[in-house]
C-alpha cells in the first residue's frame, strides 16, 4: 500500500503543464503521408528532363518547368511520394510550396527623391526613371487609377491565367499592389520615387493577398523573360532560411542582371524574424524606418511609473484622437456583452475570436470613443479593415496591452509626437539562420506611407511600403548609370546610407543593415564593395574569423584607401590591410581577419561597422560574427491562440535550424490519453511557422497538454504547454 501511495503523491506533485519525458509520441498518422501537396524540385547541377525523372514516380504529376527563375520544376502528389523524390541523386532539394502574403508625400523627399531630380544622366535627362522597366510581383494593380495609368505598361495575372493583372474587387478585393506601384511610380496627384518608370505587374497573390511559391516563381520567370531592370517583391513568409526556392530564384535573377528588391518582413522586433525572400543573399532586403511624421503615443500611469507607449493606427479606421484624455476600460475580446460600460470611453480589447472589424463595430455601437486592440501573441502587429470604421482604432503589443491592464485607475492621455529615423517596431530583424548573413541590407520609410489604392489613396504601414522606395531608387540609379550591375546598385545604396540611432546608440546591424537610404549620395558613388556587408566565418586552419571583400574603383582617377580597425576590446585582435591605392577601374581583394579569445567574450552574436577611408571620405560596412553557433533549442516560441474568425485557432512556433520532423501531439489534460496530432510537418524549414487551424481539424472542446517536438540530426527537443479549445 505504501508503494501505491508514494506513486500517487509523486504524480499529483507534477506541474500542470508537464508531460513525462517517458510519454511516447505515437507514430504519425497515415493521413499526413497520404495528404496531397505541391512541391518545388531543384536540379542538383545539370538540368535533366523532368518527364524522364518522374517516370520513376508515376503518382507525381508535373505542373511547371522553371528555366529562368530556377533550374527545376513543380510537382503535385502524395507527401510520401514527394519524400521519395528527395532521395533522388539528380535532385538537390525539394521544398513544399509555402504561402506568401502581401504582408509618399513626405517620404520621397526624405530619402532624397526630390533632390536627385536635380541631377542629369549622360543624355542630359533629369532622373525620373524614364526608360527603366520595373516589375512588381503582388496582388495586381488598378491601372485605371489616374496616377498610374501613364506608368503601367503591361503584365500578367498568374492567379486567373490571363494578361489582365487588375486588383481583385468585391468582398475579397485587394489594394496592396496598387499601393506599392504608387510608391514606385505614381505620376499625378501623387508622385512616386521614379514617376516616369515603366511598370510591369505580375499578379501572383490573389484574394486575401495570398499566393504560393509556385505562382511567385512563375512571376519571376515572366519578369526575367520581359527583361525588367528592377523587380519588387513586397511579400514574404516567416521562414528564416537562405535556401528557399524564392530566395534562390532572386539570387539567380540578380546574376542575370535584374536588381531584386524584397521586403524584410513585419514580424519584428525580435532577432531571427526575417523571412524569405528577404533572406536572399543577392537581393536588396529592406526594413522599415519612420519618415518625419506625427505618430500617436499613449501615456499611462502616474509619476515615476508613467509609461509612454507607441500605438499603430488601423488602416481604414478614423484618424487617431489627438490630445485625448479620459478613461480606458477593459473590453475583453470586444463582444457586445463585454462593452456595456464603453460609452464615451476608450476600450482596450484583446485580439482573437472575432475580426478587427467586428470588434471596432461592436465598440462603436456601444458608444466608445476609440479602440485599442492588443496582440494575443508576443510582439506588436498592425491591422486593416476593408469597410471604413466609424471610430478611431489602433494596435499595440501583447506586453504593452497587459501593462495597460495593470495601470489602475485606467486613466490615459494620448499625444502626437514627431518621429523620424527610428526602426519600426514591426520591422523584421536578422540575421539569417545558418549563414548568419546580415539582413535587412538597408531601411527606408515604411510607416504612415500615403499612396494609391483602387479609386483613391490610403496610408499604410509595413516593410511592403519600404521596399518600393528602394525599387524606385534603383530605377533612378539605373537611369543615371545604365551600366551598373545589381551588385553595384546594392553597394552604392548601402555604402552611402546613414546609420540610425536609438537613444544615442546605433541600432544593431541586424536591425538596420547599413542604415537609411540617401539616394542623392548613392547616385554619386564610384567605389564599390562586394559584398557590402561582412559575415566573418571561422577559419579552422588559422583559428581566426575571416571575411574577404573586393573593392573596386570605378572612377576615372586613382584613389587611396585605408581600413580603420574597430575599437580594441579585451580578447580581440583585428588584422586589416595597410593603406593602398587603386588605379582607375582597378579591383583589389582584401581579407579582414579577427583573432578572438572566446573566453573573454560572452555574447553569441557580435556586430558593428567597419570603416574604410576613401581619401577623406568615410565609408561604413556592417559586419557580424558569432563566438560560437548560437545555442538555440530546436523549437521555441510556441503560442496557441484564438484565430480571427469564430471557432478557429492559430499557432506559431519557431525553428531556428529547421527540423527533419516537427509535430504537435495533444494529450487530454486529465488522463494524459493521446488525443491526436494538431499538426505534423516533415523537413520543416527554418524560421517561424504560423498556421491557422480550422475548427474541422480540432479535437473536441476541452483542456489539453500540447507536446511540441522537433527532431533533427538524431536530436529531439520538446516543449510542453497547456492549451484550451473552447
Active-site annotation, residues: 138, 176, 464
- Residue 139 near residue 177 (C-beta atoms within 8 A): yes
Distance CA 244, CA 286 (A): 18
Residue (of 459, 381, 567) closest to 183 by Cα position: 459
Burial class (CB in 10 A: 0-12, 13-18, 19+), 343: exposed
Pairing of strands 505-506, 527-530: unpaired
Residue (of 490, 459, 527) closest to 290 by Cα position: 459
DSSP annotation of 425: T
User: Is the dihedral angle over the CA atoms 144, 150, 154, 159 positive or is it negative?
Assistant: negative
Distance CA 154, CA 377 (A): 41
Distance CA 456, CA 94 (A): 43
Distance CA 74, CA 57 (A): 14
The beta strand positions in 106-174, using DSSP E, are 133-138, 152-157
The 325-330 sheet, strands edge to edge? 307-310, 293-300, 411-419, 325-330, 346-350, 370-374, 392-396, 312-313
CA angle 249, 651, 378 (to 5 degrees): 90
* Beta pairing partners, 137: 202, 233
* Exposed e or buried b per residue across 651-688, where buried means at least 16 C-beta atoms within 10 angstroms of its C-beta: bbbbbbbbbeebbbbbbebeeeeebebbbbbbbbbbbb
- What's the distance, CA 91 to chain centroid? 28
Q: How far is CA 250 from each of CA 277, 428, 463, rounded to the nearest angstrom? A: 8, 19, 18
- What's the distance, CA 456 to chain centroid? 27
Distance CA 267, CA 334 (A): 24
Residue (of 205, 233, 179, 112) closest to 459 by Cα position: 179
Number of neighbours of residue 49 by Cβ within 10 angstroms? 10
Distance CA 351, CA 374 (A): 6
CB under 8 Å to 370, separation ≥6 — which residues? 320, 321, 324, 346, 347, 391, 392, 393, 394
Distance CA 466, CA 631 (A): 32
Q: How far is CA 298 from each of CA 238, 411, 502, 700, rounded to the nearest angstrom? A: 29, 10, 19, 41
Distance CA 380, CA 288 (A): 14
Instruction: Quote the cell numbers at residue 86.
Output: 528527395
Backbone angles phi, psi at 266, to 5 degrees: -120, 40
Number of neighbours of residue 270 by Cβ within 10 angstroms? 13
Amino acid at each position: 500500500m505504501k508503494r501505491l501511495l508514494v506513486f500517487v503523491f509523486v504524480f499529483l506533485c507534477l506541474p500542470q503543464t508537464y508531460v513525462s519525458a517517458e510519454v511516447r509520441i505515437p507514430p504519425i498518422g497515415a493521413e499526413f503521408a497520404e495528404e496531397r501537396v505541391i512541391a518545388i524540385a531543384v536540379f542538383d547541377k545539370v538540368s535533366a528532363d523532368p518527364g524522364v525523372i518522374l517516370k520513376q514516380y508515376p503518382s507525381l504529376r508535373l505542373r511547371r518547368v522553371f528555366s529562368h527563375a530556377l533550374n527545376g520544376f513543380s510537382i503535385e502528389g502524395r507527401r510520401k511520394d514527394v519524400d521519395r523524390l528527395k532521395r533522388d541523386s539528380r535532385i538537390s532539394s525539394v521544398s513544399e510550396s509555402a504561402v506568401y502574403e502581401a504582408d509618399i508625400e513626405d517620404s520621397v523627399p526624405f530619402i532624397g527623391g526630390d533632390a536627385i531630380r536635380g541631377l542629369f544622366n549622360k543624355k542630359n535627362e533629369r532622373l525620373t526613371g524614364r526608360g527603366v522597366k520595373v516589375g512588381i510581383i503582388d496582388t495586381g494593380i488598378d491601372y485605371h487609377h489616374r496616377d498610374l495609368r501613364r506608368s503601367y505598361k503591361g503584365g500578367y495575372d498568374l492567379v486567373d491565367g490571363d494578361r489582365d493583372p487588375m486588383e481583385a474587387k468585391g468582398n475579397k478585393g485587394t489594394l496592396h499592389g496598387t499601393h506599392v506601384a504608387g510608391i514606385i511610380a505614381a505620376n499625378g496627384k501623387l508622385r512616386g520615387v521614379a514617376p516616369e518608370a515603366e511598370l510591369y505587374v505580375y499578379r501572383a497573390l490573389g484574394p486575401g493577398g495570398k499566393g504560393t511559391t509556385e505562382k511567385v516563381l512563375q512571376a519571376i520567370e515572366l519578369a526575367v523573360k520581359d527583361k525588367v531592370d528592377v523587380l519588387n517583391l513586397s511579400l514574404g513568409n516567416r521562414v528564416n532560411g537562405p535556401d528557399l526556392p524564392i530566395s534562390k530564384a532572386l539570387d539567380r535573377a540578380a546574376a542575370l542582371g535584374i536588381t531584386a528588391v524584397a521586403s524584410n518582413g513585419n514580424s519584428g522586433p525580435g532577432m531571427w524574424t526575417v523571412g524569405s525572400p528577404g533572406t536572399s543573399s543577392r537581393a536588396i532586403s529592406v526594413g522599415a524606418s519612420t519618415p518625419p511624421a506625427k505618430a500617436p503615443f499613449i501615456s499611462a500611469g502616474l509619476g515615476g511609473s508613467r509609461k509612454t507607449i507607441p500605438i499603430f493606427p488601423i488602416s481604414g479606421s478614423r484618424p487617431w484622437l489627438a490630445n485625448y484624455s479620459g478613461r480606458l476600460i477593459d473590453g475583453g475580446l470586444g463582444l457586445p456583452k463585454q462593452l456595456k460600460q464603453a460609452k464615451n470611453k476608450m476600450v482596450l480589447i484583446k485580439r482573437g475570436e472575432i475580426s478587427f472589424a467586428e470588434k471596432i463595430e461592436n465598440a462603436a455601437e456601444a458608444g466608445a470613443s476609440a479602440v485599442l486592440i492588443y496582440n494575443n501573441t508576443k510582439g506588436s502587429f498592425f491591422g486593416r479593415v476593408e469597410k471604413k470604421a466609424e471610430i478611431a482604432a489602433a494596435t499595440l503589443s501583447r506586453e504593452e496591452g497587459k501593462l495597460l491592464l495593470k495601470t489602475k485607475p485606467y486613466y490615459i492621455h494620448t499625444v502626437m509626437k514627431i518621429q523620424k529615423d527610428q526602426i519600426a517596431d514591426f520591422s523584421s530583424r536578422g540575421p539569417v539562420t545558418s549563414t548568419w548573413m546580415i539582413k535587412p541590407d538597408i531601411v527606408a520609410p515604411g510607416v504612415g506611407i500615403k499612396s494609391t489604392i483602387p479609386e483613391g489613396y490610403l496610408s499604410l504601414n509595413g516593410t511592403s511600403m519600404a521596399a518600393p522606395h528602394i525599387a524606385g531608387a534603383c530605377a533612378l540609379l539605373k537611369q543615371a548609370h545604365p551600366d551598373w550591375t545589381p551588385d553595384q546598385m546594392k553597394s552604392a545604396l548601402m555604402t552611402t546610407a546613414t546609420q540610425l540611432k536609438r537613444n544615442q546608440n546605433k541600432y544593431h546591424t541586424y536591425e538596420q543593415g547599413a542604415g537609411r537610404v540617401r539616394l542623392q549620395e548613392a547616385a554619386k558613388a564610384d567605389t564599390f564593395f562586394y559584398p557590402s556587408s561582412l559575415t566573418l566565418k571561422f577559419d579552422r586552419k588559422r583559428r581566426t574569423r575571416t571575411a574577404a571583400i573586393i573593392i573596386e574603383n570605378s572612377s576615372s582617377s586613382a584613389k587611396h584607401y585605408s581600413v580603420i580597425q574597430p575599437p580594441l576590446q579585451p580578447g580581440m585582435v583585428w588584422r586589416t590591410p595597410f593603406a593602398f591605392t587603386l588605379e582607375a577601374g582597378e579591383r583589389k581583394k582584401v581579407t579582414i581577419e579577427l583573432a578572438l579569445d572566446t573566453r573573454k567574450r560572452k555574447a553569441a552574436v557580435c556586430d558593428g561597422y567597419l570603416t574604410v577611408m576613401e581619401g577623406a571620405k568615410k565609408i561604413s560596412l556592417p559586419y557580424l560574427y558569432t563566438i560560437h553557433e548560437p545555442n538555440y533549442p530546436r523549437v521555441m516560441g510556441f503560442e496557441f491562440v484564438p484565430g480571427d474568425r469564430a471557432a478557429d485557432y492559430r499557432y506559431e512556433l519557431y525553428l531556428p535550424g529547421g527540423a527533419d520532423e516537427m509535430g504537435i501531439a495533444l494529450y487530454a489534460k486529465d488522463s494524459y490519453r493521446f488525443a491526436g496530432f494538431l499538426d505534423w510537418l516533415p523537413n520543416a524549414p527554418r524560421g517561424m511557422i504560423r498556421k491557422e487551424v480550422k475548427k474541422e481539424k480540432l479535437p473536441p472542446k476541452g483542456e489539453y497538454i500540447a507536446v511540441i517536438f522537433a527532431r533533427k540530426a538524431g536530436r529531439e527537443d520538446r516543449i510542453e504547454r497547456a492549451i484550451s479549445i473552447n
